Chains A and B, each alone.
Chain A
Amino acid sequence: MSEAAEKPHLSRAHAIELLRHMIRIRRFEGSCAQLYTQEKIRGFLHLYDGEEAVAAGVIPVLEARDRIVATYREHGHALVRGVPMKAVLAEMFGKREGCSGGRGGSMHLFDRATNFYGGNAIVGGGLPVSVGLALADRMRGEDIVTACFFGEGAVAEGEFHESLNLAALWSLPVLFVCENNFYAMGTALERSEAETDIHQKASCYQIASEVVDGMDVVAVEAAARRAIRQVREMSKPYFLECRTYRFRAHSMFDAQLYRDKAEIEAQRTKGPIIRFREWLDSNGIVHEGEVAEIEAEIDAEIAEAVAFAENGTWEPVSELNRYLYAEGTA
Chain B
Amino acid sequence: MQEATAKSEAKETTYREAVREAIRDALKRDERVFLMGEDVAKYGGCYAVSKGLLDEFGPERIRDTPLSESGFTGAGIGAAMAGMRPIIELMTVNFSLLALDQIVNNAATIRHMSANQFGVPVVIRMATGAGKQLAAQHSHSLEGWYAHIPGIKVLAPATLEDARGMLWSALEDPDPVLIFENVMLYNMSGTLAAEAGAVDISKAAIRRGGGDITLITYGGSLWKTLAAAETLVADGIEPEVIDLRSLRPLDDSTIMASVRKTGRAVIVDEGWKTGSLAAEICTRIMEQAFWELDGPLGRVCSEEVPIPYPRHLEQAAIPQPEKIVAAAKAALGRE
Contacts and interface: CB of A to CB of B under 8 A. Distances in A.
A150 B295 CA distance: 57
B105 interface: yes
A121 B175 CA distance: 21
Interface stretch (A32-40, A100-108, A219-227): A100-108
A132 B75 contact: yes
A117 B81 contact: yes
Nearest to A172: B75
A136 B111 CA distance: 19
A162 B99 CA distance: 11
Contacts of A134: 78
A330 B66 CA distance: 34
Contacts of B115: 96, 100-104, 110, 323
Contacts of B68: 158, 162, 165-166
B84 A139 contact: yes
Nearest to B151: A324
B82 A103 contact: no
Interface string A120-143: 111001011111111111010000
Contact of B66 (A104, A122, A125, A162): A162
A129 B118 CA distance: 13
A152 interface: no
Interface residues of A, number: 44
Given A133-B81, A324-B112, A166 B70 contact: no
B71 A324 contact: no
B200 to A, nearest CB: 11
Contact of A324 (B106, B111, B173): B111
A130 B78 contact: yes
A159 B101 contact: yes
Interface residues of B, number: 43
B117 interface: yes
Q: Is the interface of A mostly helix, strand, loop or mixed?
A: mixed
B282 interface: no
A330 B114 contact: no
B66 A110 contact: no
A140 B112 CA distance: 27
B69 to A, nearest CB: 8
A108 B77 contact: no
A325 interface: yes
A269 B115 CA distance: 41
Contact of B34 (A111, A139, A322): A139
A244 interface: no
Contact of B75 (A96, A131, A158): A131
25 contacts: A100-B115, A100-B117, A101-B116, A110-B110, A120-B106, A121-B105, A125-B101, A128-B73, A129-B106, A132-B76, A132-B82, A133-B78, A134-B78, A135-B75, A135-B78, A136-B79, A136-B83, A136-B84, A159-B70, A165-B68, A166-B71, A169-B66, A326-B119, A329-B173, A330-B202
Interface of B: 34, 60, 65-66, 68, 70-84, 86, 101-102, 105-106, 110-119, 150-151, 153, 173-175, 202, 249
